Structure 1
Amino acid sequence: MKIVAADIGGTNTKICMCDELGNIEQFKEYATESNKGGPHVIQRLLDKIGEYDDFDVIAISTAGQVNSEEGYIVFANENIPMYTGMKIRDIVANQFNKPVKVENDVNSAALGETYFGAAQSFNDFLCLTFGTGIGGAIVINRQLYKGANGVAAEFGHIFTHSLSETMDGGRKSFYETYASTTALVKMATEIDPACVNGKVIFEKLSHGDKELERILHSWVDEVSAGLASCIHIFNPAAIIVGGGVMEQDHLVQLVEARTKELIMPSFSNVKILKASLGNKAGVLGAASLYL
């Protein structure tokens, strides 16, 4: 089976031709131009799919809450304006007259890791990605758990800090407010304005910046507190952590060590592992929808 698989992110979109065994050909990456809105994003996708010849089906991974049964966006934040309600499956299927499947990006990444990556040996695991916010996926018996409305695993919106009337109706108490990469960058720039992204932060850390090291450990505490709660609720065999900052092996080791200090001893066999598929996790996970 020849699959055109795409992964729509807030910044970049990945697209390729592949098969159901995960063999990738003609991999491309282009700017999503998400600030121009959902209709523009999908039109660009249609144009890019049109550059491929002789394929059987289409698989799409995308940011936002997705109704995968009907292939539309239930909710998307301001990163992609006018995206909520977009009937992606119908739009793409009508253009190419091919079967189309659509799934949330973190769910797709979890499926990619299930079949082709770090989670191949686990039946029950969680997947969390740390970036602008925090995305999540729950895999039970090697199947996605989506909840009653199909939008389960909004781990970024669990509450890890006490509520306050002065804190935006409670939203600033969310896990991702304190443990996303955005949060780490905000903490770091308060002591060094040059720390505009994770790459700069870890470059400075490699040169022994003690103040940044203190910031990092404070952030790791926030990450680990949320993971500990997830572990106590789900008792997973593993948690797969992804996102650019989690490419750092040393960071994943710090998170695992701190998390295990926070959890009950009876949960201590859980593994915390780095996602292994990098920027191809989404397209591979989308393709796996046809397994």
Structure 2
Amino acid sequence: MEVYLVYDIGGMSVKYSVMDEHANILESSSCPTPNQCKGDIFKLIIDTTEKYKSKWNLSGVALSVPGAVEVESGYVHYAGQVTDFIGKSIKEELAAINLPIEVENDANCATLAEKWKGNGQECNSFICITIGTGIGGGIFLDGKLRRGKKGMAGEVGLMILDSTQSLETLNETSTFSRLGSTWNLLNRIYLNTGEKLTGEELFARYNRKDKTIAVEIETFFDSLAIGTANLIHTLAPEKVLFGGGISEQTGFAKNIIGRLDRIRPEILNITEIDVCKFRNLAGQIGALYHFHSVSKSNVK
């Protein structure tokens, strides 16, 4: 049995598991993501890997990271919350591990997980939209994961949804991530009400018809539907799959479908709207699948 250490690195936490080649978890844990600017994220990964090397005969390390990655070199051109990755080759920074290392964008990993074992298995073309601190996207089109130049394909969170602000401020005010991510939704609620709520608390109140938060949530779903409509009209996928904790809320997909029907009913004849099969494990499962894919291509 081959064993791998697999990381899912996010803006708030680092999740990691020892997995066999089939993505069965043998051991797992997590910790807060280190503060940025000092490169502590690399020390965390190296120290954690060394600890697990002493317990397991690891065949390699696979990482899911929040950024636009050149997968061959591990170089990160753009990153969200984990800014220490920007302008660095993750593979070079982690060379002291002395194991095979493969790195992939987190939303691409979620997409690969759905293609390997999830709700995208039967699809030749589908999109994953992951919702969390920002919005990520993975594009599986015509049988292939699309990465684009500098790994920037699928960075749908940077898509502009509103043109009423000045051009210079659009990236700070009007992107898909700003208008449709969970973190930004909770932050707007806090700024409006002074209440710090979890996603679960927020939607429990929404389902109780709480008017103090209803407008923000309605706007949030509107933004998700508009961004989704743009992607469907651009790529015409068989499915759009939503991931992230918020997609587990009852009626989540129904809220998107209803709005798409209002935007243009024909959209729903093109694309099926669903949620991802995998939640917190999507990044890790997809990172392992990417590791396997690279290993197979190197053998060929």
Q: When the two structures are superposed, what TM-score results if normalisation uses the length of structure 1?
A: 0.90
1:19 match: 20
| Among candidates 86, 89, 106, match of residue 88 of structure 2 | 86
**Alpha-carbon distance between aligned partners in 2 of 1:245 and 1:266, rounded to the nearest angstrom:** 23
**What is the CA-CA distance between 1:223 and the residue it aligns to?**
0.9
1:57 match: 60
Mapped pair 1:10 → 2:11: yes
Q: When the two structures are superposed, what TM-score results if normalisation uses the length of structure 2?
A: 0.88
Change beyond 3 A, Cα 1:266–1:257: closer
2:174 match: 173
Percent of residue pairs identical:
27
Question: Is the Cα contact below 8 Å between 2:260 and 2:267 reproduced in 1?
Answer: no
Question: Is the Cα contact below 8 Å between 1:136 and 1:154 reproduced in 2?
Answer: yes
Question: Is the Cα contact below 8 Å between 1:73 and 1:85 reproduced in 2?
Answer: yes
Aligned length: 288
Change beyond 3 A, Cα 1:40–1:266: closer
Change beyond 3 A, Cα 1:155–1:43: same
Change beyond 3 A, Cα 1:38–1:141: farther
- Structure 1 unmatched ranges of 5 or more: none
- Structure 2 unmatched ranges of 5 or more: 294-300
Structure 1 ranges of 4+ moved more than 4 A? none
Write the deviation string for residues 57-112 of structure 1: whole angstroms up to 9, x where unpaired: 111111122111101222224x33432122211233x3232211111111111111
Question: Is the Cα contact below 8 Å between 1:117 and 1:276 reproduced in 2?
Answer: yes
**Alpha-carbon distance between aligned partners in 2 of 1:287 and 1:63, rounded to the nearest angstrom:** 16
Question: Is the Cα contact below 8 Å between 1:194 and 1:200 reproduced in 2?
Answer: no
Mapped pair 1:147 → 2:148: yes
Change beyond 3 A, Cα 1:231–1:74: same
**What is the CA-CA distance between 1:191 and the residue it aligns to?**
4.8
Alignment of 1:99-248 (within 5 A): 99-165=100-166, 168=169, 171-189=172-190, 191-248=192-249
**What is the CA-CA distance between 1:159 and the residue it aligns to?**
1.7
Question: Is the Cα contact below 8 Å between 2:239 and 2:272 reproduced in 1?
Answer: yes
Write the deviation string for residues 233-274 of structure 1: whole angstroms up to 9, x where unpaired: 110011111122111131221112212332351652411111
**Alpha-carbon distance between aligned partners in 2 of 1:118 and 1:87, rounded to the nearest angstrom:** 32
**Alpha-carbon distance between aligned partners in 2 of 1:206 and 1:132, rounded to the nearest angstrom:** 23
1:67 match: 70
Question: Is the Cα contact below 8 Å between 2:261 and 2:267 reproduced in 1?
Answer: no
**What is the CA-CA distance between 1:27 and the residue it aligns to?**
1.4
Amino acid at match of 1:51: K
**Alpha-carbon distance between aligned partners in 2 of 1:286 and 1:81, rounded to the nearest angstrom:** 20
Change beyond 3 A, Cα 1:195–1:86: same
Secondary structure of 2:261's partner?
helix
**Alpha-carbon distance between aligned partners in 1 of 2:267 and 2:167, rounded to the nearest angstrom:** 38
**Alpha-carbon distance between aligned partners in 2 of 1:184 and 1:169, rounded to the nearest angstrom:** 17
**Alpha-carbon distance between aligned partners in 1 of 2:270 and 2:170, rounded to the nearest angstrom:** 37
Question: Is the Cα contact below 8 Å between 2:260 and 2:268 reproduced in 1?
Answer: no
